[in-house]
Amino acid sequence: MTVAETNQHYDLDPEIFGRFLDPLRKYSSALYLDDGDSLAEAQEHKLRFVAGRLGLDGGERLLDVGCGWGALILFMAREYGCASLGVSPAARQHDYIAGRSAELGVGDLVSTRVGHFEDLDLPERSFDAVTMLGSIVHMPDLDAVFGKARAVLRRKGTLYVSESCFRSAAAHAAFDRRAGTGFVREEIFGWGDMRPLSELVAAAEGAGFTIVAVDDLTDHYRRTIDDWLANVDAAAAELDALGPGLAGRLRHYLEIANAGWGYTTKHYALTCRNSR
Ligand SMILES: C[S@@+](CC[C@H](N)C(=O)[O-])C[C@H]1O[C@@H](n2cnc3c(N)ncnc32)[C@H](O)[C@@H]1O
């Protein structure tokens, strides 16, 4: 598989993701503030946490790189009045977002572009904030990605990245070729590389960013995936009707992901400022 084929997974029928994600179809870690939080509540908490890390007051120009089914851009448009642009190479996600933004009455604030972030022509210094939730794992050239994120941000603008990482360079080397890692990378996504946090930090600093916060969200992602697994089980018959064997494949991938947290893998949020 190649990087270009990454979207074999994200270009599946959006209804599949509606069966096991929360109602916003946010496909990344939630943030649980209370033991009793539902997945839907925890995903909203997470979006407000991202808004806080970005320092949103309302009305900012926001770029979401790897926008999925629009959870973040639709939320920031509705709740904070942000002019929100989402980019992703998966064409079916854009059709879904266009429908949702019209239903929610935020079509004037929300727009999307189909393509790989690395290849898109975007005006320099034109955004107050850039977000990447679970997307940088699909981008091979970290220096190019952080460099481009900085170029499109205004001075003092903020980049928020949350990503799954190997716990260390040694864990990356030891586990990258294991069968479970290979199944998730090749059979589910097509391409992905979970780097250690140190590589993300080095690329951010190399691009000229100042790191202003690092948050460990590992336990939150474990619980998010537990909730997704429960949803996969509850909707197994519907998922298998949408794709034969789909429920079993999703379960296998989510179980592999949850087995590694804290031992081989971590999930971090990195907030970076374009200070100068
Ligand atoms: C795990 S999903 C996360 C979606 C979304 N950020 C969320 O939290 O719901 C990863 C997203 O990254 C997108 N993606 C993959 N490679 C990309 C690239 N080179 N440029 C932009 N987006 C990319 C995928 O299409 C997908 O929408």
Supply the CATH number for residue 99's domain: 3.40.50.150
Residue 216: per-residue pLDDT: 98
Residue 1: per-residue pLDDT: 40
In the structure, which protein residues have their CB atom closer than 6 angstroms to any atom of ligand 1? Answer: 6-7, 10, 26-28, 65-68, 71, 87-90, 93, 116-118, 133-135, 138-139
As a whole number of angstroms, the distance between CA 211 and CA 270 comes to: 7
34 has pLDDT over 70:
yes
84 contact partners, CB below 8 Å, separation of at least 6: 62, 63, 64, 72, 73, 74, 76, 77, 109, 110, 111
Residue 207: per-residue pLDDT: 98
Q: Is the entire prediction scored with pTM above 0.85?
A: yes
184 has pLDDT over 90:
no
Percent of the residues in the chain that have a pLDDT greater than 70, as a whole number:
98
Residue 5: per-residue pLDDT: 55
Instruction: Provide the number of structural domains found in the chain.
Output: 1
Residue predicted with more confidence, 7 or 12? 12
- The mean pLDDT value for 15-42 works out to 97
44 has pLDDT over 90:
yes
113 has pLDDT over 60:
yes
Nearest CA to ligand 1 atom 14: 66
Contact predicate 8/90, CB 8 Å: no
| Domain assignment of residue 155, given as a range | 3-273
Which of 1, 131, 138 has most ligand 1 atoms within 8 Å of its beta carbon, as the pocket-test mutant?
138
